[in-house]
Amino acid sequence: MRLITSPRRFFAAIVPLALVLAVGSTPSAVVATDGPPPSVDELGRPLIRNSGQAYLNAGLPVAARVADLLRRMTLEEKVGQMTQAERGAVTNDATLVTTWRLGSVLSGGGSVPTPNTPTAWADMVDRFQAAALQTRLQIPLLYGVDSVHGHGNLLGATVFPHNIGLGSTWDPALVRRIEHVVSEETRATGPQWAFAPCICVARDTRWGRTYESFSESPWLVSQFASAIEGFQGSNLAATDRVLASAKHFAGDGDTEFGSAAGDYTIDQGITVTNRQDFARIDLAPYVPAVRTYNTGTVMPSFSSVDWTEDGVGNPIKMHANRELITSVLKGKLGFAGFVISDWEGIHQLPGDWATQVRTGVNAGIDMFMEPNSYQSFETTLLDEVRAGRVSQARIDDAVRRILTKKFELGLFEKPYTDRTHLGEVGSAQHRALAREAVAKSQVLLKNAGGLLPLKKNAKIYVAGRNADNMGNQAGGWTLSWQGASGRDRIPGNTILEGIQQVAGSVTYSEDGSAPTAGSDVAIVAVGETPYAEGFGDVGGPLWAYDPEDAGVPREPKSLDLQPADQAVVDKVCGAVAKCVVLVVSGRPQVIPPAQLQKIDALVASWLPGSQGEGVADVLFGAKPFTGKLSHTWPRTAAQEPINTGDPTYNPLYPFAWGLRTSP
């Protein structure tokens, strides 16, 4: 998911609307057992009125309940269920949820209530839910959010390593445990739906979404489809489970550099391939996602596919690709959930607005993420159905799929937020799991002379801009779409703080200007600053629209270390006898041979999230280094795209490389 094309307009529209939502913070009310059932709970929120309708009989099979409800619905009500609006578009007037019979609302990156607390989130979602229950048939609302490495929009949530780090653990069971925690923190605060996991196969690390990919290997990514089980469990109605969304279907990590439209260089570009290779690489993770883990939803990619069988030059946008969405995903793979478009995904299709709507629906998309155009979407789709250009059968299929998940989530029995686990958001237990994940994600690339693990009584000199910057180590999709730098951006521990908890003598100088005399070992943390999607493309556009940026564009994205990073490595590693370099980044960074010679130990730390002490655990031997590269580490940027199995494969560090230490 992404924000709109003009980020300025997004923040101008959303930020002022982040109001305190005055709804009580107690759990859902219990219906009285004496006398007629009440129409509202003790907070004045509407309750579902059960007067014998079959669809409200929890004892009936879900399919029977869906059939009964579908039979009662008007076309307008069905189209409403297919529509998702952004919270900013309905926050000032929640009755819009009722009027337009919305099936879903989402929070885009950085779209949050004020204050940004667990209780305020639950209150906000319940306020929208109350509006949904004012509709004639009282169909509950689905609320979606990008819980891509934790419930990242929420201040205080546990923020886990991004997928590139989790992929380097080679531990699908760990990822299953992580996503269970993420689902618990997400649902406790209201949302019942996570736009995750991303099961893309990133084949070119110049892509700005590389850190969202578990691996360049379709086999390894397929193993991490276990994330879906972590989100959904075996009972979607449980208070600690959410609906998952496998994304982005399909080929988003396999697009060609230079094929993207606009200012992007690779994101939302074109996958040029044949059907056999597409199935082997890009479709492979969707097989276990659908057949083994029964993902509840699938999100199409912004990218296109251009089949070489019929000649290159006629790409098809994935949001328009009926062959892949309907014939392959729903047909061949047997996907029984529903397809949710990406952010205004159909707006990129050829033709006028009516053609875009018609094409998307007929391709097989069931729900449409129309953050600010939801009203126009509904009226246009109604016109298309009435004109016979979209069949009633296609509408019924879409709505049947959506309603099935709402029943499975238990929303008709318990529409409001169950706050049982609210106090566990960001808990010590959850942060301990994040710390474990950080330690297991660290990849030891070089360890000359067995320098690591370090002795706790050594005199440590710490430098580099990513040593004490929580925003940089968390990356994008943290409190906002693009994320932002900042030492105290989210609760947790920076890498420096983790080191200080262990080592007895620590000197810190971000730029290496403090005297190094007497230091035994230097630890220099360098790498990238936050970005997301196409703004992270190498050679892509700069970002200056986050309020925290104060209008200053962010640094250009590159596979090479930034000049200041190279300078601090040279300075500190040239002055201290033993030197450890941590690369805190969303993808491999090129280390020139001359610089590599000055580095005794090199660690890929990726984007560890809120618990930087997990890095210290492996540096000082509390935990062993066990991580292995999930993405090839190139010698030069010119080698990209480079992937394991290539005929001329000659990287600096190959796929699956990782030195081990003993605790």
Digit-coded pLDDT (tens) for 490-548: 999 999 999 999 999 999 999 999 999 999 999 999 999 999 999 999 999 999 988 88
Query: Mean pLDDT across the stretch 615-638?
Result: 98
- Residue 396 pLDDT grade (very low, low, confident, very high; cuts 50, 70, 90): very high
Which tokens in the block code for residue 601? Answer: 């130990």
The pLDDT of 425-447, averaged and rounded, is 98
Q: Which residue pairs from 49-56 have beta carbons closer than 8 angstroms and sit at least 24 positions apart in sequence?
A: 49/138, 55/412, 56/412
Q: In this predicted model, what pLDDT tens digit does every residue of 57-91 receive, in sequence order? A: 999 999 999 999 999 999 999 999 999 999 999 99
The predicted model gives 225-244 an average pLDDT of 98
Q: In the chain, count H helices and then E strands.
A: 22, 17
- Exactly one of 533, 565, 600, 613 is catalytic; which is it? 533
* Residue 11 pLDDT greater than 80, yes or no: no
The Cα–Cα gap between 376 and 372 comes to 9
In three-state form (DSSP H/G/I as H, E/B as E, the rest C), the secondary structure along 262-307 is CCCCCCCCEEEECHHHHHHHHCCCHHHHHHCCCCCEEEECCCEEEE
What the block records as the tokens of 487 is 């030492």
**Measured between alpha carbons, how far is 488 from 481 in angstroms, rounded to an integer?**
18
What confidence score (pLDDT) does residue 449 get? 97
Q: At what angle do helices 428-441 and 172-188 cross, to 10 degrees?
A: 150
Query: Is residue 30 over pLDDT 50?
Result: no
Rounded-to-integer distance, Cα 342 and Cα 301, Å: 7
548 — alpha (psi -120 to 50), left (phi > 0) or beta? Answer: alpha
Confidence class of residue 34 from pLDDT cuts 50, 70 and 90?
low
pLDDT tens digits for 598-613?
A: 999 999 999 999 999 9
Rounded mean pLDDT, 168-183:
98
Q: What gap in Å lies between CA 200 and CA 298, rounded to an integer?
A: 12
Any idea what DSSP says for residue 511? T
Residue range 218-245: mean pLDDT, rounded: 98
- Of the chain, the percentage scoring pLDDT greater than 90 comes to 93
* Contact predicate 254/203, CB 8 Å: yes
* Distance (Å, whole) CA 399 – CA 390: 14
Instruction: Tell me 124's DSSP state.
Output: H
If pLDDT is split at 50, 70 and 90, which confidence band does 663 have? confident
Angle, helix 374-386 to helix 353-363, in steps of 10 degrees = 80
Q: Read off the pLDDT of each residue in 254-265 and give the average, rounded to a whole number.
A: 97
pLDDT higher than threshold 50 for residue 17:
no
Which pLDDT belongs to residue 36? 61
Higher pLDDT, 628 or 10: 628
Q: What is the mean pLDDT of the chain?
A: 94
Report CA-CA distances (Å) from 600 to 339, 457, 521, 579, 581.
Answer: 49, 19, 10, 5, 8
**How far is Cα 401 from Cα 446, in angstroms, rounded to an integer?**
50
* Sheet of 459-463, strand order: 443-447, 601-604, 578-584, 521-527, 459-463, 505-509
Strand-strand pairing, 316-317 and 304-307 = antiparallel
Cα angle: 191, vertex 196, 201; to 5 degrees: 175
When pLDDT is averaged across residues 381-386 and rounded to a whole number, the result is 98
pLDDT at 23 over 90: no
- Read off the pLDDT of residues 547-585 as tens digits, 9 standing for 90 and up: 888 899 999 999 999 999 999 999 999 999 999 999 999
Nearest to 54 by CA among 46, 64, 63, 45: 64
- For the segment 306-311, the average pLDDT, to the nearest whole number, is 96
Place of tokens 């004012």: 134
Confidence of residue 464 (pLDDT cuts 50, 70, 90): very high
Among 144, 63, 153, 141, CA closest to 341 = 144
Decide if 171 is catalytic: no
Flag the least confident range among 4-8, 311-315, 372-376, 547-551. Answer: 4-8
166's enclosing H/E stretch is helix 163-167
Alpha helices of 476-529 — where are they, by DSSP H?
A: 495-502
What pLDDT, on the 0 to 100 scale, is given for residue 35?
56
pLDDT of residue 1: 54
Q: Give the tokens for residue 237.
A: 């109605």
533 is catalytic: yes
Q: Quote the pLDDT of residue 25.
A: 36
Tell me: pLDDT of 29 over 80.
no
- The structure tokens listed for 427 are 């808990």
Cα-trace Rg, the chain:
25
CA 77, distance to chain mean position in Å, is: 30
8 Å CB contact between 140 and 133: yes
Which entry of 342, 366, 384, 510 is annotated as an active-site residue? Answer: 342
Domains in the chain, CATH or no CATH each: 72-409 (3.20.20.300), 442-639 (3.40.50.1700)
CA angle at 345 for the pair 301 and 290, rounded to the nearest 5° = 40
pLDDT at 196 over 90: yes
Over 579-609, what HEC string results?
A: EEEEEECCCCCECCHHHHHHCCEEEECCCCC
In this predicted structure, what is the pLDDT of residue 547? 81
Give, in order, the Cα–Cα distances in Å from 317 to each of 51, 268, 307, 641.
Answer: 46, 9, 12, 22
Half-sphere exposure of residue 652, counting CA atoms within 13 Å on the CB side? Answer: 20
Residues in contact with 486: Cβ distance below 8 Å, sequence separation at least 6, in sequence order: 469, 470, 471, 548
- The separation between CA 140 and the C-alpha centre of its own chain, rounded to angstroms, equals 24
Q: Which burial class, exposed, middle or buried, applies to 577 when counting CB atoms under 10 A from its CB (0-12, 13-18, 19+)?
A: exposed
Burial of 375 (0-12, 13-18, 19+ CB in 10 A): middle
Tell me the pLDDT band of 21, cut-offs 50, 70 and 90: very low
> Are the beta carbons of 152 and 202 closer than 8 angstroms?
no
Reply yes or no: is the peptide bond before residue 641 cis, omega within 30 of 0. Answer: yes
pLDDT at 549: 87
Angle between helices 392-408 and 353-363 (to 10 degrees): 60
Q: How confident is the model at residue 286 (pLDDT cuts 50, 70, 90)?
A: very high
Does residue 94 carry a pLDDT above 50? yes
